[in-house]
């Protein structure tokens, strides 16, 4: 089966990223796994539907945050900082 409305593109960013996810709705939450602290965080509120979110592990140039990625430019902007080494990220939409 061929999907006609899908495309693949390459986006250059300035640091190493780990998991990257789309927020499919503005209501929902993220689960963020901090490997260094052996903790999973639930982060709710402030999501934008269609926005691209990512995290940087502790061996990135800029490390230990969850942030947004500008889809046109590749700019990464931290929105939550202070993690030891976030290495797991998923978005869970709400109804």
pLDDT in tens, the chain (95 residues): 566 787 777 888 878 888 999 999 999 999 999 999 999 999 998 899 999 999 998 888 888 999 999 999 999 999 999 999 998 999 999 97
Where do the H-state alpha helices sit in the chain?
Answer: none
pLDDT score for 1: 57
pLDDT score for 2: 66
pTM: 0.84
Distances, alpha carbon 65 to alpha carbons 3, 15, 72, 79, 95, in Å: 34, 12, 21, 7, 27
pLDDT score for 42: 96
The residue among 60, 20, 58, 15 whose CA lies nearest residue 36 is 58
pLDDT score for 59: 86
**Residues contacting 2, CB < 8 A, separation 6+:** none
Q: Hey, is 94 helix, strand or coil? A: coil
């Amino acid at each position: 089966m061929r999907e006609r409305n899908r495309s693949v593109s390459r986006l250059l960013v300035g640091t190493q990223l780990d998991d990257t996810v789309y927020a499919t709705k503005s209501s929902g939450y993220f689960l963020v796994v901090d490997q260094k602290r052996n903790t999973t965080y639930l982060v709710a509120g402030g999501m934008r539907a269609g926005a691209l979110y990512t995290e940087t592990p502790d061996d990135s140039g800029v490390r230990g945050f969850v942030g947004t990625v500008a889809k046109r430019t590749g700019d990464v902007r931290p929105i939550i900082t202070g993690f030891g080494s976030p290495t797991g990220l998923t978005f869970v939409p709400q109804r």
